[in-house]
Structure 1
Amino acid sequence: MKTQTIVLKSRPDGKPKESDFGFVEDTLKALSSGEILLKLQYVSVDPYLRGRMSDAKSYVEPFEIDKPMSSLVVAKVTDSKNDKFKKDDMVTGMLPWKKEQISNGENIQKIDDKDVPLSAYLGVLGMTGLTAYLGLTEIGKPKKGETLVVSGAAGAVGSTVGQIGKIMGCKVVGIAGTDEKVDKLKSKFGYNEGINYNTTDDMGAAIKKNCPDGVDIYFDNVGGEISDAILFNINKFSRTINCGAIAVYNETSTPKSVSVRPFLIKNSALMQGFIIGNYADKFGEARKQLAQYLKEDQLTYEETIVEGFENIPSAFMGLFEGKNTGKMIVKI
């Protein structure tokens, strides 16, 4: 059987471009005992993958040149010689961007679409939802009546964070890049206020206006100048959750930034970065709580779905141009 794989052809200089990706065709061997044949159904594309395209030291190994790229996917079992899986089972796991592939069944989990669409396992019930829930609860420790600010608020993680904050009794203010996204934050995701950073000349003043009682929790998905402006508005004992820094992922030189130390010292404030793997032992509990929120209609989500295996690279690049609202997913 012929299959197609997307590989990393070159390490990006700045924003990723089409020529950084390559398409390779190869032949799959026959299944051996204990193996299953998988066919991709949905592929998650995420900003953190940009870091893995570089060879700089990071918390995950970089992708290798001329080797497959990978991310969280949903796949269908089309053939099985493994007693744990049968034909037509649906599974999710971290797998290569390969249309059809052989697996030994390790590190993948069976899922179903009885209660939620399969794509939700890449978003609100996958790493996206877990990142939002565990980052907010483990580091942010929200208390009723506090003010929570979320940057990248219309993205997959941000839109989920805001809703969880509301469930926990916070006033929630979101920062996004278009008026349409800001409107959606309030109309669909329950945000109290929204700020369009592209039409705001003085971000510090805008945050002060929308957060008259100051900022108690900041869930930072972007870094850069937006996050600098938050520092001027933090309260005593505030908590900043450093989840992502998409504003600087494609910088080719070290960005200049406000020194955080005086703000943290003066306000006895906490700033902590994290990766979702830190809380792996809490995934089951968190997924159960997120599923309960969904069941009770307290939590909604949005997906931007691009169709076609060949469009995985362009969907990924679209993340850096704000082309997604909610989770960016490619349907194969």
Structure 2
Amino acid sequence: MTTTRRPTIIDVALKAGVSKSTVSLVLQNSPSVRDETRKLVRHAMAEIGYVYNRAAANMRKSNAGLIGLVINDLRNPFFTEFATSLQMALAEKGYSTVIANTDESAALQAQVVGAMIEHGVSAFIICPTYGETAPTFDAIAKAGIPAMQMLRRVDDRLDLFPFTAPDYLSGSRDATEHLLSTGARRVAFVGGLEGRAVTEERKAGYLSVLAAAGMEPLVVTGRASRAFGRDAAKRLAEQHPEVDAAVCFNDLVALGMLSGFHEIGRRVGEDFRIVGFDDIEDAAQTFPGVSSVRCDIAGIGARAADTVIRWLEAGEVPPPETRTPISLSVRASSGA
């Protein structure tokens, strides 16, 4: 005897060409759904024979408005500041957030995303890890849940998973031009793992400026950490004494270089100029203050919250790619 599977809300979403969350809003008679979309969903329900189980829906109601926030490395202050600003912005709009740190593990990322899907999150905002990420995004696509890639792009299906990040290319270009304007004679790019998209983007602006100036680049790649920056400062002093400035992949590398040069008695801001990237809070609070490419972390978080809520409540799908503006915070580390 063969049994026919009962249509689900996901089947309705696929039939209507909308998200699972939009179907849920229609079932809840939410006034935020446009009439055209509401008619489309109702028609899809009738065509496939979907019957709304209100009792089961009421049991799940406690999860309504729950956003899954998946972060690749909460130990990094940049991602911590982003997650905090986003969670606060969502809370102001009446949404709750469940946060998971994947610790740069693709397997853990797939696991936590699967658990969040089972617990009925309405949408995902993901700062993804690198590696085998298809299981993560395939599961989200199958569930029909809106999801945004933030700060890193690892899945090219931007129609399903829109991507938002600062204008990294302009940031590294501005940082390099600033160092040359202060009189730097040889500028290195320090930090970031080679081959990763975010490293290549942050490096590209640096390379373009040096090429235009007819100067030879020096790229020292490695982990985006304080420890790497500290070691890199000592290695540059020993192996490339002619280098007198650096654009750092991020502020952690810049802060590490600050320590490394202090240990060997090289004065940052005078003997060596440094510009970091991200402008985390620590960059302004250290001594000397670290010049940095400001990405407006709080602003990105607030915009992401607004975008995902409009997607859920009004069916406004974000554009495939959004780049947010950067600025340069000039401090003593670059000779200011």
Q: Tell me which interval the TM-score lies in, with the shorter structure as reference length.
A: 0.3 to 0.5
The structure with the largest strand share of the pair is: 1
Q: TM-score normalised to the size of structure 1?
A: 0.37
> Which has more radius of gyration?
2
TM-score (norm 2): 0.37
